[in-house]
Amino acid sequence: MIATGIYIDDVQATFWQEVSTMVVLIIVIAIISIIITVNVLRSIISPLDRIGSTIYRLEETGDLTLAVDTQGKDELTQIALGLNNMVSSFRDIAFNSNASVEQLNVSTHSLESVANDTKQAMANQQIEIEQAAKAMNEMTATVSEVAHNVVNTANAAHKAHKEAGEGMALLNIAIEAISGLANEVE
């Protein structure tokens, strides 16, 4: 017995009863903490595994149609949504790039066709220019020949005019002589 009127055996029994209650309470709290920790870890690890798996498949296959499951409202779901949006943007860029490459390919073929047509047109134009130059040379020769003939004709006409003038003078002399004879004969 202690000076307070309480038996030591009663104090020890109460102490051990309280220790037992505390141990049970600590064990229950520890089990609950473990269960909560496991659930929290699962809620973190599972989405991280899905995100990691999708990133790995994207890296290995280059398949831009893959997407991470986005169930939930936590930060990891926001990360998954961001990854899905980024992959969607890459997919759009790849599609637009492919469309641009196709359009460039079509434009290149079209430009090549236009260049070939232009080359052929220039060759045809060169032939036509050569033919026109040949025709102009022939026309120049013809004009030169016609001009020469005109000069010769003018010279001949001038000579004929001169000779006609001389013949006319002789004819006038003859007419005067005949008139003079006719006057004498009368």
At residue 2, does pLDDT exceed 70? no
Quick: pLDDT tens for 48-82: 888 888 888 888 888 888 888 777 777 878 888 88
Q: How confident is the model at residue 126 (pLDDT cuts 50, 70, 90)?
A: very high
At residue 118, does pLDDT exceed 60? yes
Quick: pLDDT tens for 140-184: 989 888 888 888 898 888 888 888 888 888 888 988 888 888 787
**Cα 155–Cα 156–Cα 160 angle in degrees, nearest 5:** 120
Alpha-carbon distances of 108 from 39, 94, 122, rounded to whole Å: 60, 20, 21
At residue 5, does pLDDT exceed 70? no
Q: Please state, in angstroms and rounded to a whole number, the distance separating the CA atoms of residues 108 and 99.
A: 14
